[in-house]
Chains A and B, each alone.
Chain A
Amino acid sequence: MNKHTVVALVQDQPGVLNRIVSLFRRRGYNIESLAVGHTESEGISRLTLVVEAADVEQVVKQLYRLIDVLKVSDVTDDPTVEREMVLVKLHAPSDKRAEIVALMEVFGAKIVDVGTNSMIIEMTGAPTKVQNFVDVIRAFGVKEMMRTGRIAMVRGTRGHPADVHSESNGHANERAVLN
């Protein structure tokens, strides 16, 4: 099964995240990561999901059945900017600190906390770069690690601005949906 990055615009109604995640559970789509947050439009949130499913077209169609979902796209094959963030509490005895700091320079990571024997490192980047970083710093001894979900945005002027109409007179619109 392939991994797909799916971006969804949703109305920020109570329980909308629950609806989406429950949908994935009962249809058997595996969520590898999920990130959600506000957009440039009030009342509209954007989700980035990395999902493993045999038929991603079905995933998209099932999401559209949810009343609060406005727009869904599979951006896996589109040129996108993708980012993840990781916070790592690293075992950092004094004799290793110089080495760690040098590594931070290479990855563009920041030290955001220093303790007697540990440091918290913050690193942001494309998913593969984050993965590289995590693999490399393991050697120092990871006390705690927290990765966020991936967020993605399509390059150039195409994409998913959150400017959908908020008024509806209750009558169904007739708009061809190509499937």
Chain B
Amino acid sequence: MSEQQTGAQILCEALIREGVEVMFGIPGGAIMPFYYAMVEYPALRHVLCRHEQGAGHAAEGYARATGKVGVCLGTSGPGATNLVTAIADAWMDSTPIVAITAQVSSAVLGKDAFQETDITGITMPITKHNYLIKRVEDIAYAVKAAFHIASTGRPGPVLVDITKDALQGRMVQNWDIKLNLPGYKPTYTGNQKQIREAIKLIAKAKKPLIMAGNGVQMSGATAELRELVERTRIPVTTTLHGIGSIPEDHPLAIGMPGMHGWVHVNRAIQECDVLLNIGGRFDDRVTGKTSGFAPNAKVIHVDIDPSEIGKNIKAAIPIVGDAKLVLQAMLAELPGKEELSALHGHASDWMEHIQEMQDKHQGKQQYIDRAKTVGMNLPPHDVYAALTRILNTRGNYRVVTDVGQHQMWAAQLIDWIKPRTHITSGGAGTMGFSVPAAMGVAIAFPEDTVWAICGDGCFQMMNQEMATMMQEGIKNVKIAVINNGYLGMVRQWQELFENKRYSGTPLSGPDFAKLAEAYGWTGITIDRSADVEAAIETAYAIDGPVLIDFRVEREVNVFPMVPAGSSIGEMIMETPVG
């Protein structure tokens, strides 16, 4: 086949060759040639969004749920800059997306043309790499390189900016493309000597702890993690992005660490003598004050990005590699039951001690001082209690949370069982993430029920994508708005640290159920605990997208809490930690 094709057609074909099935975007002047061509390629589904940020978050949701590269599109100028927040979000959470933006014609580049913006300059610090393509000859290579970079090593966002004249150019494309990236050679196999040292250290430990981060699920290593946990009998904590690495009903899964982690987990970290971190980057929400973190532990840090090792926390045994491959190598080095009997003995006593702390301080069920909820019509915790029960009974769910108090409660209070079912914005903490991201997840998994849990502030940032979902005929999304009339997490900090100076936090909004109905959704308003379960069941019964406005008690705080700058040993509780 040696037919002349336009740059836009070449772009379409290049995307199909990368396995792209859906793209989220909004057209505009510079990108019109691409939109003209894409109609000829029905394998590429285009989802017309209502804001490019929504397109970006949808691509992220799609990527985090499937492990594939998400694709978002924007025209030049403001179309491109509207993608920036989502790209920055993907950068922080190592989410593989490729953002394709059109650029003004190369003849006027650099002359402040209509809708011209230096998007490659703007996104340089927040992409793994980016390309400015001015010639039709360079399009196919850039796409192949972009997908390779986005999806390998430590995943992340890549932007490809293509001038309008390149999209309109014509050529015969040779599809035998060889990548030339000599400066990009991720390490996947861990150093064998380091792995042996790690196993030796673990075998001698008396209070060992495993910490599972984002990398475990990204690597597809949940089975290997579980096998390591069960053969060593070492308790395991999962960070916010590590949730789903191991089912939370596993006897050795102890819960989430860090700023809003459980007391027994943070204490376990502070007491442990060996800490094996797999695929986590020791983010400050987990470590608190780094000088006070895990003071008694020798740290084994497994990460695919060498720059994360030793950046925040010094590692006694650094292992650069892919989580799955390193875990497999560790399992191969692990001695048999007889040689591990000392470890098993210690681990059993240690787990018993952790269990005692959990029973004393904050079991999953003791998540709120019930005595204090007597006057409340709807404590937010009651929503989560119902959700976790119903979701886990019904199965086949994905949950996308937004950012704030509701996000922390979701992480704490829902029982997370399967991988890639807890999707959230962690490193960037981008409000507005959940509604568009849920759309991306729903398109990837039309058989699952996708819950977007958001606050009233978050909802107001990106709710316009409800129109997108209507247009696309998406039925399997249910939105739960945890509506307290505040920017809740900020208000909590203002209450605890700024003498309740609620500056800029009381927040009004529309009647969310009515707004949902205006979008063509079903809207339900709930303001009493007794009505919560029925509302959730109704949402399931309706064959279509549903929004539930849970009008919860306005001023409730997330506990435990490690104040910023404190060590994770210094937690605040509603009742003092004894």
Contact = CB atoms under 8 A, between A and B. Distances in A.
Given A18-B124, A177-B187, A168 B310 contact: no
A57 interface: yes
Query: Which interface class (under 10, 10 to 19, 20 to 34, 35 or more) fits B?
Result: 20 to 34
A69 interface: yes
B306 A168 contact: no
A168 B181 contact: yes
A174 B121 CA distance: 31
Given A26-B125, A67-B181, A168-B180, A61 B307 contact: yes
Interface string A7-23: 00011001100110011
Contact of A173 (B128, B149, B185): B185
Contacts of A177: 187, 306, 320
A165 interface: yes
A58 B328 CA distance: 28
B371 interface: no
A58 B121 CA distance: 24
A79 B148 CA distance: 39
Given A58-B307, A61-B307, A65-B307, A166 B191 contact: no
A167 B183 CA distance: 11
Secondary structure of the A side of the interface? loop
Contacts of A174: 187-189
B120 A167 contact: no
A65 B309 CA distance: 13
B310 A179 contact: yes
B311 A172 contact: no
A106 interface: no
A51 B50 CA distance: 46
A170 B178 contact: yes
Contacts of A169: 178-179
Contact of B320 (A10, A15, A65, A179): A179
A146 interface: no
B497 interface: no
B91 to A, nearest CB: 11
Contacts of B187: 174-177
Interface in B68-92: none
Contacts of B311: 58
A57 B307 CA distance: 9
B144 interface: yes
Contact of A168 (B124, B129, B182, B189): B182
Nearest to A66: B183
Contact of B191 (A168, A172, A178): A178
Nearest to B190: A176
Contact of B182 (A18, A66, A70, A179): A70
Contact of B318 (A62, A64, A69, A179): A179
A144 B40 CA distance: 64
Secondary structure of the B side of the interface? loop
Given A26-B125, A178-B191, A68 B183 contact: yes
Taking each of A10, A11, A165, A177, which has the highest tally of chain B beta carbons within 10 Å of its own beta carbon? A177
A155 B306 CA distance: 29
Contacts of A66: 129, 183
A103 interface: no
Contacts of B144: 170
B377 interface: no
Given A14-B132, A57-B310, A62-B307, A172 B152 contact: yes
Contact of B189 (A14, A67, A176): A176
Given A64-B307, A67-B128, A15 B120 contact: yes
B272 to A, nearest CB: 23
Interface string A65-81: 11111100000000000
Contacts of B310: 57-58, 179
A172 B185 contact: yes
Taking each of A11, A18, A65, A68, which has the highest tally of chain B beta carbons within 10 Å of its own beta carbon? A65
Contacts of A19: 124
A58 B318 CA distance: 14
Taking each of A61, A166, A172, which has the highest tally of chain B beta carbons within 10 Å of its own beta carbon? A172
Given A18-B124, A172-B186, A176-B191, A67 B149 contact: yes
Interface string B123-158: 011001100100000000000100011001100000
Contacts of B129: 66-67
Contacts of A164: 182-183
Contacts of A165: 182
Interface in A69-127: 69-70
Interface in B159-178: 178
A10 B183 contact: yes
B448 interface: no
B307 A167 contact: no
A72 to B, nearest CB: 10
A15 to B, nearest CB: 7
Given A19-B124, A58-B310, A177-B306, A170 B191 contact: no
Given A62-B307, A68-B183, 9 more contacts: A11-B182, A11-B183, A15-B120, A22-B124, A64-B306, A65-B305, A166-B182, A169-B179, A179-B310
Interface of A: 10-11, 14-15, 18-19, 22-23, 26, 57-58, 61-62, 64-70, 164-170, 172-179
> Nearest 3 CB-CB pairs, A to B?
A61-B307, A170-B179, A67-B129
Interface of B: 120-121, 124-125, 128-129, 132, 144, 148-149, 152-153, 178-189, 191, 305-307, 309-311, 318, 320
15 contacts: A18-B121, A19-B124, A26-B125, A58-B307, A61-B306, A64-B306, A65-B307, A69-B183, A168-B178, A169-B178, A170-B144, A172-B186, A172-B188, A174-B189, A176-B191
